[in-house]
Amino acid sequence: MTTFDCGTLIDGTSDEPRHDVRLVVDEDGRIAEVGDPNSTDAHDEHYEHDVVIPGLVDAHVHLSGIRTMDPMRWVRADESTLAVRATADLRKLLAAGFTSVRDVGSTAGLALKRGVEEGEVPGPRVYTSGRSISQTAGHGDSHFLPLEWVENGTFLSTLADGEDECRKEARRRIRQGVDCLKIMTTGGVLSEKDAPDQSQFTDREIRAFTEEAHRVGIPVASHAQGAPGIKSALENGVDTIEHGFYVDDEAIALFLETDATFVPTLAIMHRIVEYGDEYDMPEWGLRKAREAQAAHFESVERAYDAGVPIALGTDFIGPALVPHGENALEAELLVSEVGVDEMDAIRAGTGVAARTVPGDDVGIVEEGRFADLVALESDPLADIGALRDVEAVYKSGELVSL
């Protein structure tokens, strides 16, 4: 048994912090008790920290191992090299206090998940979709290559067209052991020949994915930037909306009706707009990001004001422009650009982000959950930037060597 004494505990779900709290962690690395220091004896393995939060969750990453923003170089990259780099990214994420991540598009995600679970690779808990699924000419298609080169998919996505193909592709992912499905219901910034406001996949195709996923108890995430594609995703059972540049009133009503989670990924858009021209970004990607940014901030603000659950997700993929390890930027942008209060920004990266993965094991400090904890050097309720001031990281109650 291990005990933790927390001067201030932010538990990932409550409206207010708790003070002078003792956590007791059992031999399985789960929280056995949350209570008063005077009610339970301290054990031989005992830690004391001034500020403790749940291990952070990034609900939208790509464990792709890429180190450039040039899509042509992505498709030429060696998959073994990418996987090795992705293991280094796992270490960076864990050191930054992210003890769980949802990987929504990579070739290495399933192998990395197994490596972490087996203790071969240090890193956060990995919940992965494997490769995402796109229609032909959709966001996950490499538009700049001949079709015959990508008919079997790219390193981030495979292609499926028609209800039967979509259903079979979903079943293939389930056979592989994924934790969720990731589909594309609109075009996007980093796909050359489509646009964020263009819908992709039909209602029947989307329903094929959600029916197969929900049958085995896993969620479906949709890349959805324009309002029509957001609404078709929500109307057909998708559980999380990724990006959401153009959220209208009807979309907000659907979020609330379906209790879906919004993962805005402000961080990647911010980095592309501010610094993308310094990092091999294609001109068409820069242009589309700049056109959408103001509407993106406004959409997230309106959704937040309406009570839509907002989860922290960065869409970081590894290059210097969007590196793993700096993922707390998303929380900072929620506060500075959207007006989210600090407690809600912390919950976005803890209790709300935990909604995007199967099970009730992470994201909240409560009895029965994994003892994934982050000790901070200062109070994030006073300055959200304190999420970067990591003093110690614990996974299943064990101190992570940083």
Q: What is the CATH number of the domain that holds 346?
A: 3.20.20.140
- 66 and 43 in a common domain: no
Instruction: Report the range of poorest mean pLDDT among 113-117, 151-155, 325-329.
Output: 151-155
Mutual angle of helices 266-275 and 283-306, in 10-degree steps: 140
Assess whether 132 and 245 both reside in one domain: yes
Bridge partner list, 163 = none
0.85 surpassed by pTM: yes
Look up residue 116 and give its two tokens: 């972490």
Percent of the chain residues past pLDDT 70, beyond the cut: 100
Interacting residues of 131 by C-beta distance below 8 A, sequence separation 6+: 105, 106, 107, 153, 154, 155, 156, 157, 158
Question: What is the per-residue pLDDT for 78?
Answer: 85
Q: Which residues are paired to 159 by β-bridges?
A: 134
- 390 and 273 in one domain? no
Among 266, 268, 376, smallest CA distance to 311 is for 266
Quote the pLDDT of residue 73: 79
Is 132 within 8 Å of 187 (Cβ atoms)?
A: no
The kind and range of the H/E element at 164 are: helix 163-176
62 and 127 part of one domain: yes
Residue 40 has pLDDT above 90, yes or no: no
In this structure, are 63 and 44 located in the same domain?
no
**Over 80: is that where the pLDDT of 261 sits?**
yes
**pLDDT at residue 71, as a whole number:** 81
Q: How large is the average pLDDT for residues 365-377?
A: 98
Q: Are residues 369 and 243 in the same domain?
A: no
When pLDDT is averaged across residues 344-348 and rounded to a whole number, the result is 98
Give CA–CA dist 58/200, Å, rounded: 26
Averaged confidence pLDDT in the chain: 95
Band (220; pLDDT cuts 50, 70, 90): very high
CATH of the domain at 38: 2.30.40.10
Model confidence band, residue 155 (pLDDT cutoffs 50, 70, 90): low
Burial of 211 from C-beta contacts in 10 A (0-12 / 13-18 / 19+):
middle
* pLDDT of 402: 63
Please check whether residues 273 and 333 belong to one and the same domain. yes
Is residue 171 within 8 A of residue 163, CB to CB? The reply is: no
pLDDT at residue 77 above 90?
no
Q: What is the pLDDT of residues 84-135, one digit of tens each?
A: 999 999 999 999 999 999 999 999 999 999 999 999 999 999 999 999 999 9
Over residues 376-390, the pLDDT tens digits come to 999 999 999 999 999
Are 307 and 319 found together in one domain?
Answer: yes
Backbone CA torsion sign across 129, 130, 131, 133: negative
The domain of 351 spans 56-356
Most confident of 42-51, 191-200, 240-249, 275-284: 240-249
Please indicate, yes or no, whether residues 49 and 62 belong to a single structural domain of this protein: no
Cα separation of 338 and 335, whole Å? 6
d(Cα 150, Cα 140) in Å, to the nearest integer?
Answer: 10
Co-location of 275 and 323 in the same domain: yes
pLDDT score recorded for residue 401 = 76
Q: Which two tokens stand for residue 336?
A: 């500075």
Same domain? For 46 and 62 the reply is no
Q: What is the pLDDT of residue 237?
A: 98
pLDDT at 44: 74
CB atoms within 10 A of CB 358: 12
Whether residues 351 and 382 share a domain: the answer is no
Mean pLDDT, range 70-78, rounded to an integer: 80
Domain count, the chain: 2
Q: What is the mean pLDDT of residues 193-220?
A: 97
Residue 221 is predicted with a pLDDT of: 98
Q: Extract the tokens encoding 67.
A: 């180190």
